[in-house]
Each structure stands twice: as structure tokens, then as C-alpha cells.
Amino acid sequence: MTSAFLIVERGHNAGDRIELKEFPASIGRDPTNTIVIRDSESSRHHIRIKRRGRLFILEDLDSRNGTYINGDRVINSTLSNGDKILVGSTELTFVAPDAGINITTDLEQFDMQMDEGLKMPIDVDAPHRHHFKRAVRLDPSALANNMMSNGQAINDIFNYHSNLIVIKDLKETCHTLLKSLGKIVHNASRSAIFIWSHQQRQLIPYATKNYSRETPGFLLSRSAFEDALSRKQGILLSPEVKATQQGRNRVILPVMHSEDIIALVHIEIDSPKEDFAMHEL
């Protein structure tokens, strides 16, 4: 049976991903808990997570400061994928076992392969024992601030956006978007768009574009896709990532409609000497 996970978003050991192997699983300061957190604002025995088939239930254990899910105080509540749990001052994200994604099997048609070297779970923004980061999440606010400082980038994006909104055909829209990305991200080697079906939890490769003469094919990371989808946040994989292909920068960016992801954009740079410019992303 597939496991559920808790990701420590804020607090001691932020960035850790904790597998829930046994149920019920108790969380608190006391060392007898299934998961021990170092948080003076949490109770000795703060919450318990139970499993009933495919259902996960959180129970507050009469904690001193209470338990919050997505900002609402709860005593007993079911958990859904992506729920934010506040225990004391520690924030956790619940990742359901059915949160995995399916990528359609027609990857060869698009000259794509999975990077099986980058295993789940990925360690994000956490120093590795060899002192490099395996991946970096992109802060949307920081990206927006970087872009606002570049007047030419704003003007280019406005013009490309004006061209896109008048196109009615989805495939033409995707191809035009990728063509525009090649002009914005000047050192990009290739890019692809994956349409996201939330109901089927499936990523469908829909359009690709090569910007260089060399075409080694796309190198995809399932774990990076899952991270971008669950957090609705871009993720950068640099050539320092030990498990990825030497010298290949990759970035995965979500395409949003209202508050929902409708697609992911995957961009690659082959040269190990060239990085993504933050104002271009």
C-alpha cells in the first residue's frame, strides 16, 4: 500500500519529508510519539493521524495551542492532499498516497525520457552531505520583483501575451507560447508543455520546441513534476544535482488559471556554464 507523507514547511528540520508508515501515527514533543517535533509551542502529544482505508483522519489530542488545517482550528478532521497542518509553530503539508502523477506513455513520440536517477523524495532547499542543493523552489514573489526591475522583459512579455490571447486553438497557443519562451529565455535549448488533468492526475505531453541544433531529447523528473503540482510553485534543477544529467539545467513552471494548475512548462539549458536568469522566469 502506497504511503502518505508529511513535508515540514516551517519549523525545525524544515524541508524534511516524513513517511507515514504506521497508523495511528502520533505527533508531538514527547519522544514516545511516532513523529517527534522540536517545538516548544506544541504539546507533548499534540495530534494523531489515523487511516481508514483510503481515508486519513487527524485528531487533536487536547493540545494546549490547538491544531489548524489550512488556517481553521480543528478537533477532528479528514485530510486531503496538500492540506497545511499547523502544530504549535511547526507547519506540515500532508501529501496523500494517491497524489502521484501519471505521465502518458507516448514519451518517445516527443523524444523524452524519465530521469530515473532522481529518486523520490527529492531534498529541496536542504544541504546535502556533499554541500550542494539537489533542487531549488522558485519564489513567485521574488521572480515578479526580478522581472519588474527589467523594463525590456516586461515589454516583451506584454507583447507575447497580447499575441497569445487572440489565438483560439489550443495547440497553436502552446506552440506560440513555446516560441515566445525561446525569445524570453535566451539560452534555452528546448522546452515542452504538459497539459495537466487533475481528475485523472495525468500529465500529457502536448507540444515541444527545440531552440538549438543539438537535440539530445528531453530529460524529465517525475519527482520535480510532483513537487511543482503539489505546491503550485516552480522548481529549478541545476547541473549540480548529483542524480541528473551532467551539465543540464532544467526548470518546471506551473501554468495557472485562477488558482488551479492547467499545465506545466519544462525548459532545459544544455550548457553547464549557463544558468537561468531569474528575471526571465
Per-residue pLDDT at 234: 86
- Pair 65, 27: CB distance under 8 Å: no
Per-residue pLDDT at 120: 34
Report the C-alpha gap between 180 and 197 in whole angstroms: 24
- Pair 16, 24: CB distance under 8 Å: no
| Residue ranges of domains in the chain | 5-95, 107-269
8-state DSSP, 109: G
Report the C-alpha gap between 44 and 132 in whole angstroms: 35
Helix segments in the chain, DSSP class H: 140-148, 151-164, 170-184, 222-231
State which fold the 5-95 domain adopts. Tumour Suppressor Smad4 (2.60.200)
- Pair 179, 209: CB distance under 8 Å: yes
pLDDT in tens, 101-133: 666 555 555 556 655 433 333 333 333 333 333
The pLDDT tens digits along the chain (281 residues) read 457 889 898 988 888 888 898 899 999 999 999 999 999 999 999 999 998 877 889 999 999 999 999 999 999 998 888 889 999 999 999 987 655 566 655 555 555 665 543 333 333 333 333 333 346 767 766 666 665 666 666 676 667 667 766 777 788 888 888 888 888 888 888 888 888 887 777 788 888 888 887 767 787 877 778 778 877 888 887 765 443 445 578 889 888 888 788 889 998 887 756 666 555 55
pLDDT in tens, 129-184: 333 334 676 776 666 666 566 666 667 666 766 776 677 778 888 888 888 888 88
The CATH architecture annotation of domain 107-269 reads 2-Layer Sandwich (3.30)
